[in-house]
Chains A and B, each alone.
Chain A
Amino acid sequence: MATSYLPSDRGSYAPLRDYELGAAYDEMFRANGRPRSHYKPLYSRLLHLPPEELDRSKREADLSFFNQGITFTVYGRNEGTERIFPHDLLPRIIPCAEWELIERGLKQRITALNLFLKDVYHEQRIIKDGVIPGELVYTCPHYRRQMRGIKVPRDVYVSICGTDLIRMPDGQFVVLEDNLRVPSGVSYMLTSRKVTKQIFPMLFRKCGVRPIEQYSQALLSTLRSLAHEGRANPTTVLLTPGVYNSAYFEHTYLARQMGIEMVEGRDLVVHDNIVYMRTTSGLQRVDVIYRRVDDDFLDPLAFRTDSSLGSAGLFNAYRAGNVVFANALGTGVADDKAIYAYVPEIIRYYLGEDALLNNVETLLMSNSSHRKHVCQNLHKYVVKAVGESGGYGMLIGPHSTAEQREEFRSRIEANPRNYIAQPTISLSTAPCFIDGGRIEPRHIDLRPYVLFGDAITIVPGGLTRVALRKGSLVVNSSQGGGSKDTWVMQN
């Protein structure tokens, strides 16, 4: 990694002097001391901003997060210790033209994936035409045979999607994975925006940042658009697993922003295949459920019998067409990491177009020659379990120990279908404010949120996730990641 620093005449701001550019694409600098044009306003602001002031802003923001309860609970030694959600103050900036390409790519992708889901649960043309092996579909841990033949409103299976994009060393955005079940993190996108607006008001105006505050409104319209026709004033609710869920803050935040009830499974009652919630005025019918509970836990009668997070009879009511879930059940088949490898084919098959956003090269371990090659070169690859998310069940070859590699090798051999491998990619870096007043590069990704109802809505930007540990490539919040605000420029 090339170590260099800015000559002191280039900038008097000491904390930026030790900014090391590595092999990865850096969002701010083209070369040492030479910011990209869309980062110039931030760069010059940083040159004139005393680090103490940034430090003070950071502490103020932390305190406000703490008091608002934007925290997660750390389990272990000191039971019930609360930590704030880690966030970085410096915005990540995306130029207008780049965003337009991303937007078009995401729209194309979600359209194709919804067509794929409809096909998989109905005619299965794509399997019959030999584009995707049927075996691969049926062996998905998240394939739900209960969904076969069930009509979902407007044929929209995925109404809320969070797609993880990364930037390659050559500057190109590619899709790392799709989250089509219950993507989270959007509340951090919205709260980070509030903070940066307070800290960099002038810069914000100068950059012409496109707004994201309309997200909750758009989410509500999307949910309402799914209600069955004939239900004039549909009751929409958010279903949460409850206060112990790590995303509970987000659930309450979104429910309050949309002005809808947040219910738990125990608030719901199903009678004659109609879903009601128990209110102080009696039972009230529910039409649309924005569920933040996984498929498996929704209905103990249809799925896991030991779950108490959902409500008995929900699935029958759903099948009878009396209630709508967003997202639909069984969408996990399309974000399975082995199916992911086929998404470019899926796009071509249904839309007759080439994918606008590329995939990361992915090797299926069910293919024996790929498996042999990967198992011999595990130190070069990232290995992932197909049905997992949140950074669990993953091996990062270059950062792993011989022991871990051996463990994964035997896991892969035991169940090849369950694993895929991807070459280790150096995610792009962006400047982050590190304790002690320095600014250092950290690896980041981008998760835009796509809403699919009457139309496709994507609020500009999304959640930029940061691997806050130096050199780390893992951005998941469950694994020491944080967030930063994402600015998409007007022009």
Chain B
Amino acid sequence: MLSRVADSLYWMSRYFERADHCCRVLEANYNVLLNPSKPSREQRWLRIIQSLGLEVDHKLGDSQATTQLIVQPQNRSAIVSCITSARENASQVREQISSEMWERLNQLYHQVNSTPSSPEEDLQAVRLLSTFRDGAYKFYGVTDSTMNHGQGWYFIQFGRYMERACGLSRLLDAHFSASSGADDLDWVSLLTSCSAFEAYRKVHTADLAPDRVAEFLLLNPEFPYTARYAADQMSIALEKIGELTASRRNALSDRIVGKLQASLTYVQIDEIMERNLHAYLNAVLQQCQDLHSAVHEVFIDYPIESAFEA
């Protein structure tokens, strides 16, 4: 597989996951904002701003502000910007992804892009978000069912879980660093942002404890929206890619992903909380960053000389 193609698939997937993550978070936030409670409206919006890197105009109503974060192209992390970037990357590799994937992505792009940024009515934001979420599930569905599960697909997987690990770490950090006065609804909102409320209850019942929430979203190996699950998936993807490229040059990326996996597997939540959650999450982000660089250097942008030495 061409290096440029692998790179585009990876970024297509990352941007798509980013849009999807943004959609979940905004939807959960919109719902929690409907309730009166101790943390102020600004505090709640602050979490969004911190974790997604978005800018919010506080003069606007919640619905309008949410719509802006979906469709305003000046906001680099707005859903529309992420989808545009995902589509741009996909268009570079049109011949590598299935027609169904392209059509889904293209449809979603046109849908989001044709929405005016000043909403006519209150419900628009909610409708947009749920349309988008549906579209995203369909895209994941056709990606899994209409594309060869070969190298390209594993680069897509790798990008998806890389983005998920990063997004989750930032989201947890934002929630816990501004947790004073947080009530149950805020913890529900955090879980819902990861589509994890139902899954959490199956494990821990409806008993909401902040430590438990953090444990679930960081360390649970079975639920797809957790850091541990993401690390496992990245490890599988890299192993497969290594096999398929017959490459012996990925020792560095193996080591980094192994360390990350080990840390998320053997650490206990009490340890993390006692030391410093913020520091732990930052370390996860740093390892993701290193892993990204290592993979880029091994498969995408390797020096030509090294290729001839082999």
B124 to chain A, nearest CB (A): 22
Q: Which 8 A-B pairs have the closest CB atoms?
A: A252-B94, A256-B95, A281-B245, A255-B95, A280-B299, A252-B95, A278-B3, A283-B307
B208 to chain A, nearest CB (A): 43
Q: B residues within 8 A CB of A264?
A: 4
Q: Is the CB of A281 within 8 A of B95?
A: no
Q: Is the CB of A279 within 8 A of B106?
A: no
B208-252 vs A, Cβ < 8 Å mask (1 yes, 0 no): 000000000000000000000000000000000100111100000
Extra contacts besides A256-B95, A266-B4 (6): CB < 8 Å = A253-B95, A262-B95, A277-B2, A278-B4, A279-B3, A280-B247
Pick from A69, A249, A278: contact of B2, CB below 8 A: A278
Q: Is B265 an interface position by the 8 A CB rule?
A: no
Which of A69, A264, A267 has most B Cβ within 10 Å?
A69
Which of A255, A256, A263, A279 has most B Cβ within 10 Å?
A279
Q: In the complex, A279 Cα to B307 Cα: how many Å?
A: 10
Q: A residues within 8 A CB of B50?
A: none
Q: Is the CB of B246 within 8 A of A281?
A: yes
Q: Is A201 an interface position by the 8 A CB rule?
A: no
Q: Is A214 an interface position by the 8 A CB rule?
A: no
Q: Which of A50-87 contact B (CB under 8 A)?
A: 66-69
Task: Give 15 A-B contacts (CB < 8 Å), ordered by A residue.
Answer: A69-B91, A243-B92, A252-B95, A261-B5, A263-B2, A266-B4, A267-B3, A267-B4, A271-B304, A280-B241, A280-B247, A280-B300, A282-B245, A282-B310, A283-B307
A152 to chain B, nearest CB (A): 27
Q: Is B282 an interface position by the 8 A CB rule?
A: no
Q: In the complex, A252 Cα to B95 Cα: how many Å?
A: 5
Q: Is the CB of A281 within 8 A of B94?
A: no
Q: Is A338 an interface position by the 8 A CB rule?
A: no
Q: A residues within 8 A CB of B300?
A: 280
Q: Is the CB of B2 within 8 A of A67?
A: no
Q: In the complex, A263 Cα to B1 Cα: how many Å?
A: 11
Q: A residues within 8 A CB of B4?
A: 264, 266-267, 278
Q: Is A269 an interface position by the 8 A CB rule?
A: yes
Which of B2, B102, B107, B300 has most A Cβ within 10 Å?
B2
Q: Is the CB of A282 within 8 A of B247?
A: yes
Q: A residues within 8 A CB of B95?
A: 252-253, 255-256, 262
Task: Count residues on chain B whose CB falls below 8 Å from chain A CBs.
Answer: 30
A455-486 vs B, Cβ < 8 Å mask (1 yes, 0 no): 00000000000000000000000000000000
A420 to chain B, nearest CB (A): 38
Q: Is the CB of A271 within 8 A of B308?
A: yes
Task: Name the prevailing secondary structure of the B interface residues.
Answer: helix
Q: In the complex, A253 Cα to B91 Cα: how many Å?
A: 12
Q: A residues within 8 A CB of B308?
A: 271, 283
Q: How large is the interface on A (under 10, 10 to 19, 20 to 34, 35 or more residues)?
A: 20 to 34
Q: B residues within 8 A CB of A67?
A: 103, 106-107
Q: Is the CB of A280 within 8 A of B307?
A: no
Q: In the complex, A67 Cα to B142 Cα: how many Å?
A: 15
Q: In the complex, A108 Cα to B22 Cα: how many Å?
A: 62
A39 to chain B, nearest CB (A): 34
Q: In the complex, A413 Cα to B57 Cα: how many Å?
A: 64
Q: Is B151 an interface position by the 8 A CB rule?
A: yes
Q: B residues within 8 A CB of A262?
A: 95
Instruction: Closest A residue to B88 by CB, please name it.
Output: A243
Q: Is B6 an interface position by the 8 A CB rule?
A: yes
Q: Is the CB of A280 within 8 A of B6?
A: yes
Q: In the complex, A264 Cα to B310 Cα: how many Å?
A: 25
Q: Which of A221-239 contact B (CB under 8 A)?
A: none
B266-285 vs A, Cβ < 8 Å mask (1 yes, 0 no): 00000000000000000000
Q: Is the CB of B2 within 8 A of A261?
A: yes
Q: Which residues of B come within 8 Å of A, CB atoms?
A: 1-6, 88, 91-92, 94-95, 99, 102-103, 106-107, 110, 151, 241, 244-247, 299-300, 302, 304, 307-308, 310
Q: B residues within 8 A CB of A281?
A: 1, 244-247
A94 to chain B, nearest CB (A): 30
Instruction: Closest A residue to B152 by CB, please name it.
Output: A280
Known: A271-B304, A280-B247. Is A256-B94 also a contact (CB below 8 A)?
Answer: yes
Q: In the complex, A67 Cα to B107 Cα: how many Å?
A: 6
Q: A residues within 8 A CB of B5?
A: 261
Q: In the complex, A262 Cα to B4 Cα: how many Å?
A: 11
Q: Is the CB of B3 within 8 A of A280?
A: yes
Q: In the complex, A266 Cα to B92 Cα: how many Å?
A: 13
Q: Is the CB of B94 within 8 A of A267?
A: no
Q: Which of A246-286 contact B (CB under 8 A)?
A: 248-249, 252-253, 255-256, 261-264, 266-267, 269, 271, 277-283
Q: Is the CB of B2 within 8 A of A68?
A: no
Q: In the complex, A418 Cα to B194 Cα: how many Å?
A: 66
Known: A69-B102, A282-B307. Is A243-B245 also a contact (CB below 8 A)?
Answer: no
B2 to chain A, nearest CB (A): 5
Which of B92, B94, B106, B107 has most A Cβ within 10 Å?
B94
Q: B residues within 8 A CB of A68?
A: 99, 102-103, 106
Q: B residues within 8 A CB of A252?
A: 94-95
B107 to chain A, nearest CB (A): 6
Pick from A243, A277, A280, A282: contact of B91, CB below 8 A: A243
A195 to chain B, nearest CB (A): 15
Q: A residues within 8 A CB of B247?
A: 280-282
A462 to chain B, nearest CB (A): 23
Q: Is the CB of B106 within 8 A of A69?
A: yes
Q: B residues within 8 A CB of A248?
A: 91
B94 to chain A, nearest CB (A): 4
Q: In the complex, A283 Cα to B88 Cα: how many Å?
A: 26
Instruction: Closest A residue to B308 by CB, please name it.
Output: A271
Q: B residues within 8 A CB of A261?
A: 2, 5
Q: Is the CB of B1 within 8 A of A279?
A: yes
Q: Is the CB of B99 within 8 A of A280?
A: no
Q: In the complex, A269 Cα to B107 Cα: how many Å?
A: 36
Instruction: Closest B residue to A260 by CB, please name it.
Output: B95
Pick from B94, B110, B304: contact of A269, CB below 8 A: B304
Instruction: Closest B residue to A71 by CB, please name it.
Output: B106
Q: A residues within 8 A CB of B2?
A: 261, 263, 267, 277-280
B73 to chain A, nearest CB (A): 10
A333-359 vs B, Cβ < 8 Å mask (1 yes, 0 no): 000000000000000000000000000
A267 to chain B, nearest CB (A): 5
Q: In the complex, A69 Cα to B99 Cα: how many Å?
A: 10
Instruction: Closest A residue to B89 by CB, please name it.
Output: A243
Q: A residues within 8 A CB of B91?
A: 69, 243, 248
Instruction: Closest A residue to B241 by CB, please name it.
Output: A280
Q: Which of A136-192 contact B (CB under 8 A)?
A: none
Q: B residues within 8 A CB of A267?
A: 2-4
Instruction: Closest B residue to A261 by CB, please name it.
Output: B2
Q: In the complex, A23 Cα to B221 Cα: how many Å?
A: 77
Pick from A69, A263, A282: contact of B94, CB below 8 A: A69
Q: A residues within 8 A CB of B241?
A: 280
A306-328 vs B, Cβ < 8 Å mask (1 yes, 0 no): 00000000000000000000000
Q: In the complex, A266 Cα to B2 Cα: how many Å?
A: 11
